[in-house]
Structure 1
Amino acid sequence: MPELPEVETVRRGLAPTMEGARIARLELRRKDLRFPFPDGLEARVTGRSIVALGRRAKYLLIDLDNGTTIISHLGMSGSFRIEVEQLSDRPGEFHHPRSKDEKHDHAIFHLEGPKGASRVIYNDPRRFGFMDVAQRCELDLNPFLFGLGPEPTGNELSAAYLAERFAGKAQPLKSALLDQKNIAGLGNIYVCEALWRAHLRPTRAAASIVTTSGKPNKQMELLVASIRDVIADAIKAGGSSLRDHIKTDGSLGYFQHSFAVYDRESLPCGNPGCGGTVARIVQAGRSTFYCPACQK
């Protein structure tokens, strides 16, 4: 499933085409994805202008000029692609090749923008993604967004905040980091990578990096810095192209080439002087990769 860096990469890829454009028509080719499309979605958004593209955790937010926001989740295999009308008097414009799986094109935004007509197409073979709609002023009350913790790249995430959330918790550290109520948008891949950078074993208790007085210790400080760094590095690399994820222009993300532990079972640990070997265990039904030698 695409994680925060992948969704942020999609947002950045779509923004130049979608922001400032008018939705001439929204074409829905089926009644549902993972959930049914909201009633009257086409009529609600047709003719509206897109004022901004945002992101909350793993959700893409499309803000319209009437205060409405389209909430989109990519699910397991969802992706957007852009098709720009080829105009002979616009050098440099190009038409992205159409997907070979057009039967999985389920929602098409027909746009009119400063650069001409374009289409933004949502393709989802497994149909685990979905779209919802809400008023911008009520987003925090939306069932999908309600109760989410702070963004891993935002100022609200701090060692002090995380210490307050983790104090007294025997829950494994990895599980606590995956809890979206603690931090929004962190997924399995980047939690594994952040814990490796922080030299923390994923199975240790969350409370073990909090002092008896409830304050963050140095390990907690390093963990927060590692989370920020690994997310920033992944966004810079365009995300990780695992399974079905591709960027909006059809190209691939490259952070998977920088994985230190994820999916590297039995390979040498990359920490200088470690000499350990990456291991794989299963936690709550999900694979965890770590180095038993240097993650304590």
Structure 2
Amino acid sequence: MPELPEVETVRRGLAPSMEGAVLKKLELRRNDLRFPFPADFARHVAGRGITSLSRRAKYLLIDLDDGKTIVAHLGMSGSFRVEEGAAAETPGTFHHPRSKDEKHDHVLFHLVGASGDARVIYNDPRRFGFMDLVRRTEMTSHPFFRDLGPEPTGNELSADYLAKRFGGKAQPLKSALLDQKNIAGLGNIYVCEALWRSHLSPLRAAGTLVTDAGQPTEALFTLVDAIREVIADAIAAGGSSLRDHIQTDGSLGYFQHSFSVYDREAQPCRTPGCGGTVSRIVQAGRSSFYCASCQG
């Protein structure tokens, strides 16, 4: 599933074509994706101006000029592409095959912008993605968002905040970091990378990063810095290109090629002077990659 950096890459790729444009028509080629579309979805958004594109956790938010927001989730295989002008092509060099089969083009945004007409097409072979229409004034109380923790890139995420969440918990650190109530949008890949950077084991109890007095340890400060850095690096690199993810201009992100621990089972640890080997274990049904020699 695309993680936060991938969704942020999609947002940045779509913004030039969508922000400031008018959504002339929303074409739905089926009645549902993972969930049914909202009632009268196409009618409610037709003719609305798109004021901005933003992101919350792994959700893409398309803000309209009537106070409503189209909420989109890519699921496992969802992707967007932009077609402008007469040439119905997606620019960019493809490094891996991408679905362009029209039978998987489920949602088409017909746009009118300053540079002319354009189409933004949502393609999803597995149909695990979904879209909803939410009033912005009701976003914080909506089931998608009401229990989400702070963004890993925002000022709300701090060692003091996590100390309050982790204090006294025997829960494995990996599981605590994946809990969206603690941190929003942090997924399996980048948790593995952040733990490696901070030399912390995914098996370590979350509460061990908090003192008896409830204060963050030095290790927790290091972990917060590592989370920020790994997300920033991934966004700067354009997101990883695992499986079906691809940037909206057709090019793939390259951060996957610099993964230090994720999906590197049995390979040498990249920590200078470590000499250990990357191991793979399964926690709560998900793979964890780490070096037992330098992650304690």
Shift of 1:101: 1.5
The equivalent of 2:290 in structure 1 is 290
The equivalent of 1:210 in structure 2 is 210
1:139-192 deviation line (CA, Å, top 9, x unaligned): 011111111000000000000000000001000000000000000000000000
Q: Verify: 1:62 aligned to 2:62, yes or no.
A: yes
1:231-278 deviation line (CA, Å, top 9, x unaligned): 000000111111111111111111101100000000000010000000
State whether residues 80 and 121 of structure 2, in contact with CA within 8 Å, keep that contact through their aligned partners in structure 1: yes
Shift of 1:86: 3.7
1:179-236 deviation line (CA, Å, top 9, x unaligned): 0000000000000000000000000100011111011010000000000000000000
Q: Which amino acid aligns with 1:106?
A: H
Question: In structure 2, how many angstroms separate the alpha carbons of the residues matched to 1:295 and 1:100?
Answer: 42
**Once superposed, what is the RMSD of the aligned Cα atoms?**
1.2
The equivalent of 2:95 in structure 1 is none
State whether residues 105 and 121 of structure 2, in contact with CA within 8 Å, keep that contact through their aligned partners in structure 1: yes
State whether residues 81 and 248 of structure 2, in contact with CA within 8 Å, keep that contact through their aligned partners in structure 1: yes
The equivalent of 2:17 in structure 1 is 17
State whether residues 85 and 95 of structure 1, in contact with CA within 8 Å, keep that contact through their aligned partners in structure 2: no
Point out 4+ residue stretches in structure 1 off by more than 6 angstroms: none
Question: In structure 1, how many angstroms separate the alpha carbons of the residues matched to 2:15 and 2:6?
Answer: 14
The equivalent of 1:263 in structure 2 is 263
State whether residues 84 and 118 of structure 2, in contact with CA within 8 Å, keep that contact through their aligned partners in structure 1: yes
Q: Verify: 1:4 aligned to 2:13, yes or no.
A: no
Shift of 1:95: 4.0
Q: Which amino acid aligns with 1:12?
A: R
The equivalent of 1:137 in structure 2 is 137
- Secondary structure in 1 matching 2:233: helix
Shift of 1:75: 0.2
Question: In structure 1, how many angstroms separate the alpha carbons of the residues matched to 2:207 and 2:100?
Answer: 49
The equivalent of 2:178 in structure 1 is 178
Counterparts of 1:47-126 in structure 2, within 5 Å, are 47-86=47-86, 95-96=89-90, 100-126=100-126
Question: In structure 2, how many angstroms separate the alpha carbons of the residues matched to 1:125 and 1:168?
Answer: 43
Question: In structure 1, how many angstroms separate the alpha carbons of the residues matched to 2:24 and 2:134?
Answer: 20
State whether residues 99 and 125 of structure 2, in contact with CA within 8 Å, keep that contact through their aligned partners in structure 1: no
Question: In structure 1, how many angstroms separate the alpha carbons of the residues matched to 2:161 and 2:99?
Answer: 44
Where structure 1 has 5 or more consecutive residues not aligned to the other structure, the ranges are 88-93
The equivalent of 1:153 in structure 2 is 153
Question: In structure 2, how many angstroms separate the alpha carbons of the residues matched to 1:145 and 1:127?
Answer: 21
Q: Which amino acid aligns with 1:185?
A: G
Matched length: 290
Where structure 2 has 5 or more consecutive residues not aligned to the other structure, the ranges are 92-97
The equivalent of 1:36 in structure 2 is 36
Question: In structure 2, how many angstroms separate the alpha carbons of the residues matched to 1:60 and 1:220?
Answer: 30
- Secondary structure in 2 matching 1:226: helix
Identity over aligned residues, as a percent?
72
- Secondary structure in 1 matching 2:55: strand
1:18-67 deviation line (CA, Å, top 9, x unaligned): 00000000000000000000001101100000000000000000000000
State whether residues 163 and 210 of structure 1, in contact with CA within 8 Å, keep that contact through their aligned partners in structure 2: yes
State whether residues 172 and 205 of structure 2, in contact with CA within 8 Å, keep that contact through their aligned partners in structure 1: yes
Question: In structure 2, how many angstroms separate the alpha carbons of the residues matched to 1:222 and 1:99?
Answer: 40
The equivalent of 1:245 in structure 2 is 245
State whether residues 23 and 112 of structure 1, in contact with CA within 8 Å, keep that contact through their aligned partners in structure 2: yes
State whether residues 100 and 123 of structure 2, in contact with CA within 8 Å, keep that contact through their aligned partners in structure 1: no
State whether residues 177 and 183 of structure 2, in contact with CA within 8 Å, keep that contact through their aligned partners in structure 1: yes
- Secondary structure in 1 matching 2:140: helix
Question: In structure 2, how many angstroms separate the alpha carbons of the residues matched to 1:215 and 1:99?
Answer: 49
| TM-score, length basis structure 1 | 0.96
- Secondary structure in 2 matching 1:271: coil
Question: In structure 2, how many angstroms separate the alpha carbons of the residues matched to 1:140 and 1:100?
Answer: 35
